[in-house]
Amino acid sequence: MEFIAGSVHTARAVMTNPTNAAWDYQGILFMGINQSSMALVNFHLNAGESKEVSFEIAMPTALGDYPVYIGVYVGSTFLEPLRQGEDVTIVATPSPTFAGSLAGAMIWYSPLPAWETVTINKEMPLDGEIHLAVAWRNESEVTIRGHVDLVVVHPDGTRATLSAVLNQDKEASFHSGYYVQFAPFLATQEGTYTLEATLTTGGQLLDSWTFTLVAAASNLPLAFTNFVATKITCPSATAWNAVRISCTITNPNSVAVSQDVSVMWSRYSRTYSQWVNCVGGWGGSTRHYCICDQMSNCLVNPFPVTLQPGQSMLFSYAGHCNPDPSDPGWNPCAPLLPMNYNWYFWLEDSLGNKSPESSFST
């Protein structure tokens, strides 16, 4: 029979008084070849009575095999013989079983408004400062202290260990955990970045996880300057207005950038004192920020822009299409702007970077 060193247990033995008189007895439990006294119990038995007697024992701290004996006294008289019980084996306290798992990661970079969940091959901006937080969860039945290491492998194979800045080495109870946040790294190379995360406690490896992020030039922002939206009269429908737009679009980055750029608008009816929503219905008192979906065939919206490092382009939209060669009188405007509205226009890239806003009334 095995017991953990220092643990407390109860031994039981049935004692019988074989005489015709009642007696007060003392029982002593011994352990080991040297018969060390481990527990003493006083008990009374009437003539011919039998009953179970319990001994509370703190097990020895030395590991090994121990014979067990029980001796009985009446007063100072030892009642032969010394009775031997079942031998026991004292073993070391088992190490607790630790278990934990890595439970995903979050990413943030400018201009994201909030942290986002990391997905497979999630894109991030080239030349961007990338912030990561890796989640871990305690799967043990005991409290553990979680330590997360995170290594980033750049597209050229360069490895760098990121420093934790928040929630490292925190203790977590069963089924709880933390996000460990790391100092940012710069994604200066276009291509795939491999992130290697490991979870340990007390130097014991609990879990590992590898995920990838992709730095692409398409995720770099464009810069917009000198944006102007001007009200004009539509040449082919003079009762209506149209809009002429111009803006300088610049690639401020050190690599080429390809982005989709949209003409955006908001519309407010002074007649009905309401904003127009993005599907053309009434939007009440809330302003709606919409892609201009009435460009017709005059302009693909959004339109693609590719610029080399430091390159600029002048975007210009006349408010109407060139005349159809088969019909010189065909010169449609898009969008057509009815009277008694306030109009707000701007350009915006697919990362949410915006030009200054320009507005006028009709």
Tokens of 19: 């005489």
Give 219's pLDDT tier (boundaries 50, 70, 90): low
The CATH number covering residue 130 comes to 2.70.50.30
Give 81's pLDDT tier (boundaries 50, 70, 90): confident
On whether both 228 and 197 belong to a single domain, the answer is no
On whether both 142 and 16 belong to a single domain, the answer is no
On whether both 205 and 237 belong to a single domain, the answer is no
On whether both 128 and 208 belong to a single domain, the answer is yes
What pLDDT, on the 0 to 100 scale, is given for residue 324? 57
CA distance 76 to 79: 10
Q: How far is CA 30 from CA 8, 27, 33, 61, 66, in A?
A: 15, 10, 9, 15, 10
User: Total domain count for the chain?
Assistant: 3
Q: Point out the domain boundary residue: 178, 195, 218.
A: 218
Q: Point out the domain boundary residue: 73, 91, 109.
A: 91
CB 262 within 8 A of CB 348: yes
**At residue 284, does pLDDT exceed 80?**
yes
On whether both 85 and 105 belong to a single domain, the answer is no
CA distance 195 to 162: 10
What residue numbers bound the domain in which 237 lies?
223-361
Q: Point out the domain boundary residue: 187, 218, 249.
A: 218
On whether both 229 and 357 belong to a single domain, the answer is yes
CA 64 to chain centre: 48
On whether both 214 and 230 belong to a single domain, the answer is no
The C-alpha angle with vertex 280 and arms to 279 and 281, in degrees rounded to 5, equals 100
On whether both 199 and 242 belong to a single domain, the answer is no
**Average pLDDT for residues 311-323, to the nearest whole number?**
84
CA distance 320 to 326: 17
On whether both 168 and 207 belong to a single domain, the answer is yes
**Average pLDDT for residues 175-198, to the nearest whole number?**
95
> Which residue from 138, 70, 66, 69 is spatially nearest to 102, judged by alpha carbons?
138
Summarised one tens digit per residue, pLDDT across range 227-246 is 999 999 887 778 889 999 99
> Which residue from 95, 97, 167, 174 is spatially nearest to 138, judged by alpha carbons?
174
Tokens of 157: 């194979």
Summarised one tens digit per residue, pLDDT across range 102-119 is 999 999 998 788 999 999
On whether both 109 and 194 belong to a single domain, the answer is yes
On whether both 148 and 273 belong to a single domain, the answer is no
Q: Is residue 213 within a helix (H) or strand (E), and if so which, with residue range?
A: strand 204-216
The CATH number covering residue 289 comes to 2.60.40.10
CA distance 181 to 162: 10
Q: What percent of the chain shows pLDDT beyond 90?
A: 69
> Which residue from 219, 91, 196 is spatially nearest to 134, judged by alpha carbons?
196
On whether both 333 and 268 belong to a single domain, the answer is yes
pTM for the full model?
A: 0.47
- Rounded to the nearest 5°, which phi and psi values hold at 163? -90, 135
